[in-house]
Structure formats: C-alpha cells, structure tokens
Amino acid sequence: MKKINIIAIISTAVLMSSCGIYNKYERPNVNTKGLYRDSASVVDTLAARDTSNFGNLAWRSVFTDPQLQDLIERGLAHNTNMLNAALNVKMVEAELMVAKLAFVPSFTFSPQGTISSWDGNKAAKTYSLPISASWSVDLFGNLLSVKRSAQMSLLATKDYQLVVKTKVISNIANMYYTLLMLDREMEIVNNMSGLTKNTWDMMKLQKELGRTKETSVQSAESNYYSVQAQTAELKRQIRETENALSLLLGEPAQTILRGSLASQSLPSSFSTGVGLQMLANRPDVHYAEMSLAQCFYGVETARSKFYPSITISGTGAYTNNTGGGIVNPGKMLLNAVGSLVQPIFEHGQLIAGLKVAKLQQEQAYNTWQNAILSAGSEVSNALVLYNSSAEKAQFEQKQIESMTKNVAYTQDLFKMGSSTYLEVISAQQTLLNAELSKVNDDFYKMQAVVNLYYALGGGRD
C-alpha cells in the first residue's frame, strides 16, 4: 500500500509539471514599432542605424576632461545612492542564499541529561544526544519558483546598481558642464560690463561737449547696472551649482576645480538613430524585465501552494536510557516520519493570492513596455537636442560676428553725430543676448551627448 501511495505521489508530480508549475521565464512579445524617430526627418520614420556603439563606450572614453574624470571617480566612490545600491546587492545575495538552502535538510541538535534518585538510593544519570532532521520534498515546485524569483531579484538589483551608476555619471557631467557654461557667461558679461562702462563714460563726455542730453547718460548708466546685476546672478548660480555637485559627490560644499567650455572635446557625429539591440545596454529596461520575470515566478509560487507539501523528518539519538533508568550501555534510537499536507479550503486565500500574483505580473509587463518606449523617446530627444543646438549655434555665431561689427559702427556713428544713444545701447544688448544664447546652445550640445550616453545605457568602466 505504501508503495502504491509513493507511485501515486510521483505520478501526480509529473502531471503537475506538465501543467506548467516548473516552467521557466521566457521573454514575451513587446511592441517596438516606431521606437525611434529619425531626428533628421519631419515624418515619423523608424531610424534603425547604430550609433557606433556609443552606449558601449567606457565613460572615460566619452568624458576625457581630467578634472571631470576625477569628479566622476569621487562620485562613484562616495555617492550615497551608489553606496546604498551596493548594499542592496549584498542583501539580495543573502536572500538568494536562503532560497537555495531551503533545498537542504535542516538539522537540530538538542542534548539532554537528567540525574534522579529515589528514596535516598544512588543517583541514576541518564543522557540523550538527539539529532533531528527535516527535509521538504519540492515535488510541486514551490521552493524552485522561490529560488528562481530570488535569482531574478538579484539580477534586477544589479541592474538597478548600474542604473544608479549611469545616473551619477550623467548628473556629475551635466553639473560640470553647467559650471563651464556659467563661467563662460560670466566672462561674456564681464566683457560687456567693461563695454557698457566705456559707453557710459562716452555719454558723459558727449554731454559735457553739448552733443547729447542727460537722458543718454542715464540710459547708459542703467544699461551698465543691468549688466552688473547679471554678474551677481551668475555668481549665485555658480555657488549653488558647486554646492549641488559637492552633495552629489558625497562631500562638503566646496569650490570645484574645472577647465573651460572651449577646451572640451566630446563626440560630435551620430547616426540618426540606434539599433533595437542597443536596448540591451539600458539597465533600467533590463531591470524592468527582470522584475517581470520575478513576478512570473511569483505566479508559479502561488500556483504551487494549491498542491501538497511533503516533509520527511527523522530523529537519531545516542542515549544510555533504556527505559528503566539503568545506566549504560549506550543505545542508538532511530525514528523516521513522512508527512503530506494537502490544502483544501483556506478561506479563498490561495485563489486570491494567485489572482494578485497574476495582476502584479500584468503590471510588471506594462512597466517593461513603458520602459522600452521611454528609452526610445530619450534617444530621439537627445539626438534632436544635439542637432538643433548645433544648427542654432552656427546661426548664432554669424549673428555674433555681425553684431560685434554693429556695436563698433554705432559707437563711431554716435561720436560723429549720425546715430542715437538708443541705437548704441540696443546694439550692445543684442550682442550680449546673442553671445549668451550661443553659450547656452554650446552647453545644450554637451548636455545632449550626456543624455544620449545615458539613454543608450552608458556608464561602463
């Protein structure tokens, strides 16, 4: 009879395995139609050319400024989010070890000893050295699905660690380039401050000579102080950016050593799109898929709870207690028990648990799909930002060259009485705005490179 029961249990296990409780995760279909828009086209076309494996480059190959590299290394070593991400990996590794050890029998050692004496007789000493073992037989995949879920959790956690690393690198680079932009703007504003001061002095001289009125002097003075106010604002922005970058580095607020905007060397040519295989570099996309796989095994775990749990336990003990209190000789006592627990009705908890697990899996799939679409959108946006900023910068450079000549011409004409003070001041303001706009677009080009590197899953050593 026992033999028949064992065969029945094994047959049931085989039947259940055919029902899917031992299935492995397989990547489901996902919508990638029109994932990337061609940044050089006004229509929604699929751009499927590769960007020369830009996302595969080590970050030191992209950000070549030695001072920026030093900042990135300090950030990766001391950033709070990086430190916590590394600790998360260690915690999940420990959880995976627990899931693996669930397949191994558990042992308990509980030695016992007694001394007893009856009616003043000689004391009897007895002892027992029992060892108990218990082993859960995973015929229905409960332990297996928990272990696989823990494996997916570890992969997802390592992906998240890379997400944090890529974000830290990108944020440090963006803040560094922001400082370079503000430094260049400060240089431009200081130069314009000198120019507007000369114009103010010129207006005062022209008034003394009777060639202009007090209003021209007041307008020139107002223009000078307006430029000075911009200087004060730039100083504030520089200090706040340095403080924010220091915090990102995990260090006290401090002055950041840096180069110049003009000395930066970054990649300057990209394809109009990226191949779909580049998505494999996106740690956040892979993280979302591993979370989906984890939910898949969560469904498997919920299904396995409908089936019996089988436990084999045994006890072995070395004792001198023969039942009558006689001391010695030692004896070995052995005992083995097998138990099977089949859930029948648990107030609908098992059914509800399975429904929740399936809904969580559906949510994880939607999150994964959205992560892929977001990746494509970020790549497209970075390419568009780079191309548009580069195009604008070319036009602004021509505008600056033209306005520089115009400022000089209007000053000469004003001295000869052929131009008004308003034309002089307007020409200076237009030149200042064009120069600042050019600096902003140069910065946006750098920011676009950083964004594209992040969008393609960069951040590798």
pLDDT tens digits for range 113-162: 677 666 666 777 776 767 776 666 666 666 777 777 778 888 788 888 88
pLDDT given for residue 37 in this prediction: 52
How many whole angstroms separate alpha carbon 287 and alpha carbon 285? 5
pLDDT given for residue 71 in this prediction: 95
pLDDT given for residue 242 in this prediction: 96
pLDDT given for residue 270 in this prediction: 58
Give the three-class secondary structure for 32.
coil
pLDDT given for residue 77 in this prediction: 92
pLDDT given for residue 439 in this prediction: 93
Give the three-class secondary structure for 455.
helix
Residue that has been written with the tokens 């009777």 in this structure = 210
pLDDT given for residue 126 in this prediction: 72
pLDDT given for residue 105 in this prediction: 67
Residue 73 has which token pair? 């290394």
pLDDT given for residue 179 in this prediction: 95
Torsion angle of alpha carbons 281, 284, 290, 294, nearest 10°?
180
Going by DSSP bridges, is the β-strand pair 106-109/309-319 parallel, antiparallel, or unpaired?
Answer: unpaired
What Cα–Cα distance (Å) separates residue 64 from each residue in 67, 72, 77, 101, 173? 9, 11, 19, 47, 11
How many whole angstroms separate alpha carbon 459 and alpha carbon 461? 7
The single-letter DSSP state of residue 37 is B
The rounded Cα 434 to chain-centroid distance in angstroms is 37
The single-letter DSSP state of residue 17 is I
406 neighbors 427 (Cβ within 8 angstroms) = yes
Task: Name residues whose C-beta falls within 8 Å of residue 122's C-beta, 6 or more positions apart in sequence.
Answer: none
Going by DSSP bridges, is the β-strand pair 331-341/124-137 parallel, antiparallel, or unpaired?
Answer: unpaired
Torsion angles phi and psi, residue 34, rounded to 5: 60, 35
Half-sphere exposure of 358 (CA within 13 A, CB side): 7
Average pLDDT, the chain: 78
Domain range annotation of the chain: 2-103+140-301+376-455
- For the chain, which residues score pLDDT lower than 70? 1-22, 31-55, 99-107, 109, 113, 116-121, 127, 129, 133-142, 268-281, 310, 312, 314, 316-347, 459
Question: Is the domain defined by 2-103+140-301+376-455 classed in CATH 1.20.1600.10?
Answer: yes
Please state whether the peptide bond connecting residue 329 to the residue before it is cis, i.e. omega within 30 degrees of 0: yes
